[in-house]
Amino acid sequence: MSTEHDPLHILLFPFLAHGHMIPMVDMAKLFASKGVKVTIITTLANAPFISKAIENSKAHSNMINIQTIKFPCVEAGLPEGCENAHLIPSPDYVPVFLKATELLQEPFEQHLSQQKPDCVITDMFFPWTTDSCEKFRVPRIVFHGISFFSLTANECMHRYQPYKNVSSDSESFVIPNLPGEIKMTRLQVPEFLNIDEFEERFKKIKECDGKSYGVVVNSFYELEKNFADYYREVIGMRAWHIGPLSLCNNEKEEKIYRGKEASIDEHDWQRWLDSKEACSVVYVCFGSMANFSDHQLREIAMGLETSGQQFIWVVGRSKEDGAAEWLPEGFEKRMEGKGLIIRGWAPQVLILEHEAIGAFVTHCGWNSTLEAITAGVPMVTWPVSSEQFYNEKLVIEVLKIGVPVGVKKWAAFAAIDDIIKWDAIEKAVKNLMAKEKAIEEMRSKTKVFSKLARRAVEEGGSSSSDLNALIDELVLLR
């Protein structure tokens, strides 16, 4: 293990998006709790978010240092200020943004030279850091920010390309060689698998993963043991499960602020939930990247109202964005006391942990999915993009702790055209909140996974042991 006199030094370089930065900041806290010195590299605009999250972790903040580099927005052809993926004005800029990150190689190498870390953990979207780490003879570990299930499913899809062997977009196929008989359709396959530019980029990512020292995964063994074993033993990747990373946040302040300021006063939502019965409220949130049309938002509002369920709905739009244009007339007045709308960022971990929450309507981003599992809350799955359709399969078909809303088509974040009607939303929500035996069994199963998650990060648990093993290995390496 790392010692007080000669601490191991790890450099973390998260991708420039909240969904990637938040778990890596949690990872920094986790390493620091083990006596490891951590340096986080980020851009000037993102540094304040990370800095505040670290400050709220008073116990270990003295072991974590933040270093900044300039992001070349204008030089890369991006609008000024686009230092975070959620600020990209349209999907057309995604390739430009990813290409711009390659211009960070020189300043990154300057930090490698100055910091002289014992190990570097970088996001999958920085494959070029493999060459940089080789140059300075430092082991690079990859962080994908997704589950073992998604890692293995993605690998099998790339290797065997089963989506090319079906006659239509809606015809189902089995993902070859993946444990269990997991079926998908071509409509659910990420579009970048069929776009040359992105396919080349992901080939580069896979190639650099193979040259790296290994992979750290935000998951725990008991949740997806078959896929963890497959990833290590069949695909042949060295990997350590060290999650759920969100559980490193023990203090309330840490859970409230994890990257952005909440858009609602803590006492408002807390008091509102405290007045509700256990498992009586539906929490609805689609992360920071999904951009639904006014039409879809109106359908969600109608579905929630007709379901008759109490709800907290997080909407990424302020009142200045014109609520009257997408909310049904008189909706907020009718929902007084029954529904709470949070416009902007919400303290999701704390909300999910509240005993009043009985279901989570989610986009199936891995952070949200794992936070729901950790809190013991079953899900209504509404995948949008990235690897989220894989996560839906894990939740619905493998773990059996949720119900699908019925999304059929993968979408770019800013171009969601698969409209889910209000009656489908009503049906899914009412189904998951029903007091029926099958649903109660699902709820109990989710609570079991919650207990296993918390046990995994305790001393002697599977994730704690894997983390200790990784640190011991890195100490021996130097």
Catalogue the active-site residues: 20, 123
* DSSP symbol at 77: T
- Distance, in Å, from the CA atom of 375 to the CA atom of 167, rounded to the nearest integer, reads 41
* DSSP symbol at 409: -
Handedness of CA 394, 396, 398, 400 (dihedral sign): positive
Q: Is the peptide bond before 89 cis (omega within 30 degrees of 0)?
A: no
Contact 221, 241 (CB under 8 A): yes
Please identify which residue in the block is written with the tokens 């993605």.
154
Backbone angles phi and psi of 150, in degrees to 5: -70, -40
Query: In whole angstroms, how large is the CA radius of gyration of the chain?
Result: 22
Cα–chain-centroid distance for residue 218? 9
Contact 220, 369 (CB under 8 A): no
- Distance, in Å, from the CA atom of 261 to the CA atom of 273, rounded to the nearest integer, reads 20
- Distance, in Å, from the CA atom of 364 to the CA atom of 383, rounded to the nearest integer, reads 5
Backbone angles phi and psi of 308, in degrees to 5: 75, 5
